[in-house]
Amino acid sequence: MRPLSFRSSLALQIENFIRLQQLSGTDYHSQSRLLCYFDRFMLQENVEGSQITGEIIDRYLQTLSHLAPRVRSNRYCVVRQLCRYLSRTDPLIYIPERMRTISSYSTRRCYIYSEAEIVSLLAAAAELPPVDSLRPHTVQTLLGLLYSTGMRIGEAFALNLNDFDAPRQRLFVAQGKFHKARWVPLSASTCRAVQSYLEMRTRIKPSSPDSPLFLNLRSQRLKHATIFQTFRHLLNTCEIGRGLPVVPRIHDLRHTFAVHRLLAWYKDGNDVNARLPWLATYMGHVEIASTQIYLQAIPELTEQVAHRFRRYYLQNVEHNEEES
């Protein structure tokens, strides 16, 4: 991965700030990449010195106006963190106000894949070229794993061979978000699929325990750009999302996992509210609020909710009214 480079008049302060964050145990890599945009802005605007003013922040916000609300908020927040850090040694540094909380209605609506579409994607992945290569098996197993576990794609890329515990049917995520490690239990069918993939994968070097679980055609760890391009090809092949205002993403497999898991609990008659903490832990979330963002209403889910409410009403409310 290419090291980050800062070239504005704030370059040294930004680098010191990032090192301080990393010393506290935070990875801070994604946030560091966001600071690159601010550094580039400072360079293009020919801002000299290390003084950040309200005018500079306002001009920077204007350059973010074309971005989605969530993306704009993320870039703004890291700059605010930088300003707070700089103000410790320079009281004249402007500290921006907190950005207004973004309503869930203003965030990007996610695409929830149907079970038929998942089957279609996996079948198309199995037909990818080159023939007799590991690539189709890699993409098919990766997509199946993302859908059946709701893992973040970065977590899947970071998996090594020794992270798969076949006897206990689970995967170890060592580098989750915010450095939160966890075990991810696998269903019997998912475990068999990973084992089947490993029978082919371990014939290719590197095959040491700490080598990547998923390899590209160069026998290196998978990269986001390559998989995203492949996934777009599969979407076109399966005619998924064509003509829709929302373009399906590979990250939407994580959303689909959460919604389908909720739907299965409703169908089984389980106490969904009691099980939400389980889902949050399984997905690597710190709190349930983060999990709720992934729970999007689909017709099948709405139908199950309505059916459960009607049954509750008939058994409790109407029965009590008749007795009174």
**Which amino acids are annotated catalytic?**
152, 177, 251, 254, 285, 294
Neighbour order of strands in the sheet with 170-173? 164-165, 170-173, 182-185
C-alpha span between 29 and 27 (Å, rounded): 5
Contacts 24+ apart (CB under 8 A), 21-30: 25/179, 26/178, 26/179, 27/175, 27/178, 27/179
Amino acid at 14: I
- 296, 257 contact by CB (below 8 A): no
What's the half-sphere exposure (Cβ side, CA atoms, 13 Å) at 231? Answer: 21
| CA-to-CA dists, residue 124 to 128, 231, 236, angstroms | 7, 10, 10
Tokens 């169908």, located at residue: 267
2 phi and psi, to 5 degrees?
A: -65, 130
Which H/E stretch holds residue 185? strand 182-185
Give the number of other Cβ atoms within 10 Å of residue 299's Cβ: 7
- 134, 97 contact by CB (below 8 A): no
**Do strands 182-185 and 164-165 pair parallel, antiparallel, or not at all (unpaired)?**
unpaired
**Which residues are 171's β-sheet partners?**
164, 184
